[in-house]
Structures are given as structure tokens and as C-alpha cells.
Structure 1
Amino acid sequence: VPAEARALILGADSAEILTADESANQLKFWSSNPQSIPSIAGPASQIPGHLVDLSAVDRSILRSENERRAVAEHLAKKFRISFEDTLHYVNQAMVVSKEVNLDPTLILAVMATESSLNPRAESRAGAQGLMQVRTHVHHDKFEPYGGPLAAFIPEANIRVGALILKACIARAGSLEDGLKSYLGAPSAASGVGTYTHKVFLEREELRNVARRLGGSV
């Protein structure tokens, strides 16, 4: 497996710089074998857990298959994409949430708000993929996956995005300020209609769907 011999720690100080050929080979490998993309738990564990707002942490939601399927069906209808795709994203969010110790519905809410669950989404500012990671800023974090183009591989994008989100929350001191930092606008306003408000509404909507239709108590 090309990247496993490299490093699982994603960071500018520790990541090995790959040649163009090595990056191309890794990108090709991970694109063909997304299920083998390594966990990001190692880098996430380096972020002090006591600094993360507890409201961003909830491992009690989406634990059952019924909950996950209910949320996937809801997202498929809302964004008019296939149930197979949304179920895959929900399952990936669940896996990654355990790796970074964040609420899976928070990860999904950021994905929904940022890209409407479009893995090929790209903003004018250069933010890419499901979680709209700015690859020109975080290119080092995609090195183990073959470089910035890996931002369009959902499994890689969700992991890198969730890692950045956790770091932002820890650094900012609260979930709301962490979301503003993730947006790249730490001084952004709060309140109705703002980015953070949209994420919070999306998260609560997903949690309600899971509880109501998924049988969560």
C-alpha cells in the first residue's frame, strides 16, 4: 500500500514531501481503493481533547443502522442525490467521527452547508470537496493521499476536513467560534442567517430525523 509506508501524521513539519510521480501513484491508489484510506485518529489525538467544546462531541447519535439510513434518506431527498451516495457519506462521517471524537451530525452538517454534499464542489476561493477544504492552505494534509487533488476523494476530504474542524474548535475555545474559524472568518457575525446558524440548524435537523425516523430514544 503506497501511503501506509509514508506517515499517518498529517502536518507540514512531519509529512514527507513526495515526488510528482509518488504523489500521482498515491492519488491513483487511493482513488481506486478509498476504503483503504488510513485513519486520521493519530493526528487528531495530538489536539488536546480538553480544549474541544463538549457541545461538539456526541457519540450517542447515529449508532444504529436505522438512524443512519433515515438521515441518508433525508439528505438524498433534500439535495436530490442518490441514497447510495448519501448513505456512504453518512457512514463515512460516522467512521471519521470516531477517529476525531466529534459528533457525526456536526461533520455532516458542515458538509451539507459547505458543499450541499457535492464531492466535486469548488469555490472561487479554492475550497474543494465535500467539506470545502482550502487545499492551497492545507495542501500538506493531503500529501499522504497523493496531494491536493485527493480533496475530491470523499474519504480523504472528510478526514482532513474533520481534522481541521477539530483544530479550529480547540483553538477558538467554542464550537461557534470554531466554525467561524473553519469558515476562515473568525470575526464573522453570529445570529440568524449566518454560517454558524446554518450549520447549527442543519445539525439539529439531522439529529431530529435520526431520533424521529431512526428510532433513537
Structure 2
Amino acid sequence: MDAGSWAYGAAAPGLKAAAASVFLTLGLAGSVAAAETTLLALGDSLTHGYGLAEEDGFVPQLEAWLQARGHDVEVINAGVSGDTTRGGLSRLEWSLSPEVDAVIVELGGNDLLRGIDPASSKANLDAILTALCEKGLPALLTGLPAPRNYGEDWQQAFDAMYPDLAETHGALLYPNFLAGIGGLEDREAGRALMQGDGIHPNAEGVKKVVEGIGPKVEELIERVRAQD
């Protein structure tokens, strides 16, 4: 399947709306009682909740899952549909509001779909993680498995960048964001958990994604508490 037919990103108007949503979310964060731990989810449409009612998206479902397990936590949605690693880097600074304690970095899917040189993607993610380290913010880096569309060398370079960067920066690693529903490499098994585009999880799919990544996010919260 070609990149254009299963891109995570929405059209430009959708991206603008998503960005506006992020600004609004960050702006309202200070108007409510502060949670013990505040996580920033920096990502693309998989984080943003493309095609879903707001309450069914990744961030609200993750926050609810964590709270149900006794965590006093707020998760800020800094996902923008269509964003690449370069886009995530460009908006990192303004996304890091003062209350943020740790960051989930879910980027690279759109780089993959556009065939961007993995070296460029790695450099952008490296810059993001470097900035988080400098600010003393623990990070959870999530990846996606690359298909073979661009050849074996490209695939190996893309797949290797996530564990390499996590090791370099001491970040937590969740290798496949979609592992809870079988991941990109097993579409048939997870078809009932996907939206009509075959790319984005539906509400039940997001639930499975959250159940998969949730324990790793709990590890991220523990790192925050260990710093206190």
C-alpha cells in the first residue's frame, strides 16, 4: 500500500484545527486543580485522536486508565495530525508548559510514510530527547515498525533509531505504539479495531492500545516520582 493511501495525517485544515486544540488544551491547563503528575503526549494523529470523538481518543482514554489505577495524573494532548518528527521538534518548546513532569514522544509514522531519510528523523528525535534531558524531564519514546517498501537498509535504519535513541538518552522505550492491536505488521488481526481507513484505531482499538502501553506509562510516572 502506498504512503499516500494510509497516511496518518489529515489535510491542512485538520492540522490547523488540531493545532488550535493543542493551544486551547495547554491554555486551560492552569485553570483546573493541578494533578500530582502531568504528562505531555507529543505526537501525530495517533496521539491526537484522528477520526474519533474527543473522549475516545488516546489521551483521554490513557488518562482515564491511569486514574482508574489510582494515579493522580493529567495527560495533555499535544498530538497534531500529519506531524513529522521535524514538526514535533519545531513545537516542542511551546508545548512544554511549566506543569509538565514527563513526556510521551510518539512521532515518526509520517516520516515513514513519506519516505524521509531515517537519519533525518533520528536527528529530530535526538534533538527532542536532548531538550527533554536538559530540562530534567523523563521521556517515553514510542516507535512503529517500518514496512519493506523502501528496501531492507531503510527499514533497518528506521527500526533501529528508536532503541538506539532510547539507550543514548536513558529514555523508556515502547517499540510499537500499535502493539496492543497487533501493530502495523498484522493488519488483518486488528482490522475490527481499526477505523475505515485501516490506519487509525477506532475507540475499541484505542482501548487496546492504552492497555498495551499503559504499564510503560506507569513506569514513566514512577520515574517522575523518583525525582521528587
- Shared fold (TM-score greater than 0.5)? no
Higher RCO, 1 vs 2 (CA within 8 Å, ≥6 residues apart): 1
TM (norm. structure 1) is 0.30
TM (norm. structure 2) is 0.29
More strand by share: 2
More helix by share: 1
